Structure 1
Amino acid sequence: MASAAEEASAPVRKAAAAKKVTVAPKKAVAGVKGAAPARAVVHPPGDESRTALVRRARRINRELAEVYPYAHPELDFTNPFQLVVATVLSAQTTDLRVNQTTPALFARYPTPEDLAAANPEEVEEILRPCGFFRAKTKSVIGLSKALVEDFGGEVPGRLEDLVKLPGVGRKTAFVVLGNAFGRPGITVDTHFQRLVRRWRWTGETDPDKIEAAVGALFPKSDWTDLSHHVIWHGRRICHARKPACGACPVAPLCPAYGEGETDPEKAKKLLKYEKGGFPGQRLNPPQAYLDAGGKPAPPLGAG
């Protein structure tokens, strides 16, 4: 017969057992060729300390840097003007679609002065494949006029100036600052928001609050590359509806492991191949590896 002390301790033992968490199997990282497998660790509990969170977040970024060493903006551009326009056009469409559209746009309107003076109907016809083409036409012509009238035809290199341009919010501004001017910034797009919440870096839902919360976990110098790593991972592996958990290189560090397919072979079929090559490939120099039909083509030098 159990003593009173033993009976009193039983709920404690049950509570402790309830807190047991699942460890992602090491084979979960096998689906990404070339990735350095993360060491198996216990998924963080809900009471993870601030120090532990910082360490885990930075380790995830280091692992992703190994998988995507050449992560970069997937919009084609040759100058800050082209980048800001392309980023505005990328809303609610794919970067691939924007890259198929902007050559004709920039060939006809190569400078802010040209686009500011453009016939809206002609611009709409060029931008029609991007979706929401009327609103986007209004934005790119409007921002071009603002560049000419307020900034001498040059894209400003300050956040407070960029967000004054039509169609430009903080997300677009940080893309431009980080990739055209080398000034650190966090790009909080839909992929970034989804992944940092899955990883429990923050529970915030407002993009500005997410930016602040995640920024506090990393040195400022890491912000731009961090954004690329997270966005690339969200596009290729950690999808919104069906993440490829069994092929994820950071599965052992992810509190949401198991939300998606955990079988490695099935998970590999969920991987998406986009600009920049296949997940886990170390590509140099970075460039598109898609054929004319938008399907993955062999990397340069292959076969």
Structure 2
Amino acid sequence: MITTESSIAPRRRSNRLRNMERWHALGFISPAVIGLSIFTVLPVGLAIVMSLFDWPIFGTREFIGLGNYVELLTSSPDFWPALRNSVVFTLLYVPINLILALGLALLLGPRIKGRAVFRVLFFIPVVTPIVANALVWKLILQPDGLLNGLSTTWFGLTLPNFLVDQNWAMIAVVTMSVWSGLGYNMLVLTAALEQLPASVLEAAQIDGARGFRLMTKVVIPLISPSIFFAAVMTIISSLQVFAQPQLLTGGGPGTSTIPLVMFIYNTGFKFQDLGLAAAGAWLLFIIIIGITALQFRAQKKWVHYEH
């Protein structure tokens, strides 16, 4: 078979066109790739290296291998209390957030007039700067604040100082966090509820499913993928909590509300030990990856996807 010049020319033009498309695509994605490399990949790689060194902000750096990890797990006085605080916060925050979000999503259903307004009102704290949220809650919870003033005026009761009482400080942080993050999961579950097939719900009601039984046997299994997504994202964010205790209680009283991320921040920038802080960050990463992997493994038992 003889290849003519007329058959070669279109092939060359096609190759040039594909090459141009590749360069155009590379040009479009290059800003994102450069940003990801500089602000994510490079810091992650540097954190791995730093965790293996005695790395003060100023001074000589010395390679110590896994010494920082050993110090955190065996001799650091604040690591385990900080990890415990993160776990306690997560165990309190996640179920309260998910239960209230599901309740609001069900409550603000199609039969409620003005439901769009209520959804916006509940979502406003999500997009409000966390500093503003913390300032509002400080004004509410401090001894001469709104809550104590109302309780004294109406009921003659003097409430404890929630922000410095060791028994109440974590509850105050959890309460503020639920208020500021509730709207996101509410919208996720609302969207899931609005996608439920009406025919399935009608068939279940015809079969006698009502109220609690309809909810547990039909509705929740149908929206279980959305509940799973909300649970995974909420657990990840709760294990990384920092701004709420930092702004509301400063980690106090003592170390009762210092989560692991605040411990990492203090270790790196307050005590100027970047190597130990990097090791703490990687331990947190391993914890989050492990918990997320367990969630994905457990989802097979309760999450139902449509096939």
Shorter-chain TM-score category? under 0.3
Q: Which has the larger radius of gyration?
A: 2
TM-score by length of 1: 0.26
- Larger proportion of helix: 2
Q: Which has the higher contact order (CA 8 A, sep 6+)?
A: 2
